[in-house]
Amino acid sequence: MAVTLSVNGQSHTVESELDTPLLYVLRDDLGLNGAKYGCGLGQCGSCTVLVDGAPVFSCVTPILLLEGREITTVEGLGTVDEPGPMQRAFIEEQAAQCGYCIPGMMMRAQALLERNPSAGDAEIRAALEPNLCRCGTHMRILKAVRRAGQLMQSAAAPGASEGAAS
Amino acid sequence: MTALRLFLALLLVLVVGCIGFVAYGWRSEIDPVARPGQPDPALVQRGAQLAAIGNCNVCHTAPGGEPFAGGLALPTPFGTIYSTNITPDRETGIGTWSAEAFIRSMREGVDREGNHLYPAFPYDHFTLVTDEDNRALHAYLMTREPVRYVPPPNELPFPLDNRLLVAGWKLLFFDEADHQPDSGQDEAWNRGRYLAEGLGHCGACHTPRNRLGAEQEDRHFDGAEIEGWHAYAIDQTSAAPIPWNVDSLADYLRRGWHAEHGVARGPMAPVTANLGSVDPADVRAIATYVAATMGDPGPERLARAEQVRDAASGTGRLAQSADSLAVPATAASDDVGAAVYASACAICHESGRPLPFGGLDLHLSTAVNGPNPQNIINVTLFGLPASEGEAAPVMPGFAGTLSQQQLVALMNHLRGSFSEQPAWTDVEERVARTLSGEQPVSIYTSDGMQHAPATGMRTKPWP
């Protein structure tokens, strides 16, 4: 069945059953390999993407539910040449070890900071609770999210420009 | 002249009445005491178990706060009441309370200084607790870590902010009482009634309240709304598709889930978390009393239960895996609710994998068979958050995924497919109120905590 999905601002028509989890469509049909398959049960968070700005587990979200919704994956936060503030912060803090959980962490953090770029430590910890990291880089992840918040705030500050933020 | 006289006479009556009422409501202060010495460890141990049965930690700990330091906001129809600090801190807690002062608070709802306590503190139940048990509770609390913390002031409108009014409430709705054993019942039933009606205060959530916040005695255990959840009827009108019995209740109360009934959620999650740490004989006594209150199911209900069991066993047609790789065949249907169920829910709920990690077959669900859809809406939206270090049921929430219209359709589909009960009439309204946040919902993990702070009370389940 042909389904039209809006992913990272682009419209895609895919041939797929309606009960296919979004994660499979992202990875297999659209070649967006940022979101990861971890547990397949919506319990680890490595598949987290945004739907209309809210974080969801793409491994348990059938595409049936997503018609007309705006999906954002980690690829939508920036490019290799021009990483977005969340991606830059994770690179600058070297927050990844094995890296498997990181796209999910970034997406859940993105949802939080879009609502509240000045979120404090307690809010960041509470928001990221559903996402697991097995390497133990939690402290660097927290640091990276705080830095991303600062980058977003300074980018949004009056007088800030592309040049000043780089 | 006559009018003036009448006015003066009325004024006199009013003044005398007020003085009389103040005298009636007045309670003396009990002198503060020095820090008690080392209590008997056996007494403290007993107090720990009693505190778990009383669920003290849950109301007296704020999310992320220190155990027993209070500050939890209790929303009531009259305003917000904040739980008090019951750690032994001498300035801000109950460190200066003698055992006698503690006993009076439990039996009469009056603090050490003589102030009437709001009935959010369920002394209408605690009045049944024996002095001996109160001394154990007191010894337990006095050996907790003292925490210097002043909870926020209550947010009650005038004149409810005047505690003397509580004396009037008590006059109407509260009787100091002892537990009177019923010689016609066995020991377990009597022990169960003492615990369930007293310290366990089951009725505080499961009995509906009148306009002035008092439990309606003629609707004992008849089910009520609490913290954005429906506390099910646990009398003869229980909505459980398979009737409860002593064994299943005892098992459920200690584990927090039962394979034929589902998962304790909302404010019931911490209750079962606490009961997991107490003497199984006491939990069984509570189950004995509650099962007796529900009564023997007639042959009709038992026959119906067999049908439900058959229906439930028939849905385990997928492989023994709850993994989303095992996608079931899509139900070809124009019905949005059926399509959502088939694609998002059946993966786990028809996996045939048993609880706690597989999803419950929804034929068995009390939430789907209950009088309103609130609980199944809550669980669908917010899931069953994992608790730390425990083998407990988990479910992802679908709050960010399901649209309002999809959720309404799903609820109606569940009711139509997994229950013989008539359709709910309030699905749209409840879905809208829950999604908008107009109906706040308390979320607890199965270790009993909101946002899981360590409470120091949860211990490993009894072996």
Question: How many residues are present in chain A?
Answer: 166
Per the domain annotation, does A66 fall within a domain? yes
* 8 Å CB contact of A18 and B400: no
Would you state the pLDDT for residue B421?
95
Residue B170 has pLDDT above 80, yes or no: yes
Would you state the pLDDT for residue B23?
83
Residue B386 has pLDDT above 70, yes or no: yes
C-alpha span between B131 and B176 (Å, rounded): 13
Q: Which of B327, B348, B393 is nearest to A22 (CA)?
A: B327
The interface predicted TM-score (ipTM) is: 0.88
Per the domain annotation, does A38 fall within a domain? yes
* 8 Å CB contact of A18 and B330: yes
Strands A54-57, A70-72: parallel, antiparallel or unpaired by DSSP? unpaired
Same domain, A68 and A93: no
Residue B216 has pLDDT above 60, yes or no: yes
Same domain, A63 and A92: no
Would you state the pLDDT for residue B437?
87
Same domain, A62 and A119: no
Per the domain annotation, does A163 fall within a domain? no
**Cα dihedral B117, B119, B124, B125 in deg (nearest 10):** -100
In chain A, residues with a C-beta closer than 8 Å to the C-beta of B384 are: none
Taking the Cβ of residue B347 and every Cβ of chain A, the question of whether any pair is shorter than 8 Å is answered with: yes
Per the domain annotation, does A126 fall within a domain? yes
In chain B, residues with a C-beta closer than 8 Å to the C-beta of A41 are: 322-324, 348, 394, 396
Same domain, A13 and A64: yes
Per the domain annotation, does A109 fall within a domain? yes
Reading chain A (166 residues) residue by residue, the pLDDT tens digits are 899 999 999 999 999 999 999 999 999 999 999 999 999 999 999 999 999 999 999 999 999 999 999 999 999 999 999 999 999 999 999 999 999 999 999 999 999 999 999 999 989 998 998 899 999 999 999 999 999 999 999 988 776 554 444 4
Nearest CA-CA distance, residue B342 and chain A, Å: 8
Would you state the pLDDT for residue B319?
42
C-alpha span between B338 and B17 (Å, rounded): 65
In chain A, residues with a C-beta closer than 8 Å to the C-beta of B403 are: 65
Q: For chain B, give the percent of residues with pLDDT over 90.
A: 72
C-alpha span between B342 and B327 (Å, rounded): 9
Taking the Cβ of residue B343 and every Cβ of chain A, the question of whether any pair is shorter than 8 Å is answered with: yes
Tens digit of pLDDT for each residue in B235-265? Answer: 999 999 999 999 999 999 999 999 999 999 8
Same domain, A65 and A20: yes
Q: Could you tell me the CATH number of the domain that includes residue A119?
A: 1.10.150.120
In chain A, residues with a C-beta closer than 8 Å to the C-beta of B451 are: 126, 129
Q: What is the 3-state secondary structure (H, E, C) of chain B?
A: CHHHHHHHHHHHHHHHHHHHHHHHHCCCCCCCCCCCCCCCHHHHHHHHHHHHHHCHHHHCECCCCCCCCECCEEEECCEEEECCCCCCCCCCCCCCCCHHHHHHHHHHCECCCCCECCCCCCHHHHCCCCHHHHHHHHHHHHCCCCCCCCCCCCECCCCCCCCHHHHHHHHHHCCCCCCCCCCCCCHHHHHHHHHHHCCCCCHHHHCCECCCCCECHHHCCCCEEECCEEECCCCCCCCCCCCCCHHHHHHHHHHCEECCCEECCCCHHHHHHHHCCCCHHHHHHHHHHHHHHHCCCCHHHHHHHHHHHHHHHHCCCCCCCCCCCCCCCCCCCCCHHHHHHHHHHHHHHCCCCCCCCCCCCHHHCHHHHCCCCHHHHHHHHHCECCCCCCCCCCECCCCCCCCHHHHHHHHHHHHHHHCCCCCCCCHHHHHHHHHHCCCCCCCCCCCCCCCCCCCCCCCCCCC
Nearest CB neighbour to B344, from listed A52, A65, A122: A65
Picking from A17, A61, A67 by the largest number of B CB atoms within 10 A of its own CB, the best residue to mutate is A61
Taking the Cβ of residue B328 and every Cβ of chain A, the question of whether any pair is shorter than 8 Å is answered with: yes
Same domain, A89 and A68: no
Q: Could you tell me the CATH number of the domain that includes residue A10?
A: 3.10.20.30
Same domain, A97 and A120: yes
Helices (H) and strands (E) in chain B, counts: 19, 6
Per the domain annotation, does A123 fall within a domain? yes
Residue B385 has pLDDT above 50, yes or no: yes
DSSP SS3 for B153: coil
Tens digit of pLDDT for each residue in A155-166? Answer: 887 765 544 444
Nearest CB neighbour to A64, from listed B323, B343, B398: B343
* 8 Å CB contact of A19 and B328: yes
Same domain, A60 and A100: no
Picking from B324, B325, B380, B381 by the largest number of A CB atoms within 10 A of its own CB, the best residue to mutate is B324
Same domain, A56 and A11: yes
Which residue range is the domain that position A123 belongs to?
A: 85-156
* 8 Å CB contact of A40 and B451: no
**Cα dihedral B323, B329, B331, B332 in deg (nearest 10):** 140
Residue B427 has pLDDT above 80, yes or no: yes
H or E segment to which residue B410 belongs: helix B404-418
Nearest CB neighbour to B401, from listed A19, A43, A61: A61
Per the domain annotation, does A162 fall within a domain? no
Residue B448 has pLDDT above 70, yes or no: no
C-alpha span between B201 and B192 (Å, rounded): 12
**Stretch 252-291 of chain B: residues touching chain A, C-beta under 8 Å:** none
Taking the Cβ of residue B330 and every Cβ of chain A, the question of whether any pair is shorter than 8 Å is answered with: yes
Per the domain annotation, does A161 fall within a domain? no
Domain boundary among A23, A44, A73: A73
Strands A48-51, B257-258: parallel, antiparallel or unpaired by DSSP? unpaired
Same domain, A62 and A95: no
Residue B266 has pLDDT above 80, yes or no: yes
Nearest CA-CA distance, residue B426 and chain A, Å: 23
**Stretch 39-98 of chain B: residues touching chain A, C-beta under 8 Å:** 64
Tens digit of pLDDT for each residue in B270-307? Answer: 999 999 999 999 999 999 999 999 999 999 999 999 99
Domain boundary among A73, A94, A118: A73
Residue B372 has pLDDT above 60, yes or no: yes
- Count of structural domains within chain A: 2
Domain boundary among A26, A52, A73: A73
Residue B429 has pLDDT above 50, yes or no: yes
Same domain, A149 and A118: yes
Nearest CB neighbour to A40, from listed B325, B398, B399: B325
C-alpha span between A35 and B401 (Å, rounded): 17
Of all residues in chain B, the one with the smallest CA distance to A19 is B343
Nearest CA-CA distance, residue B278 and chain A, Å: 29
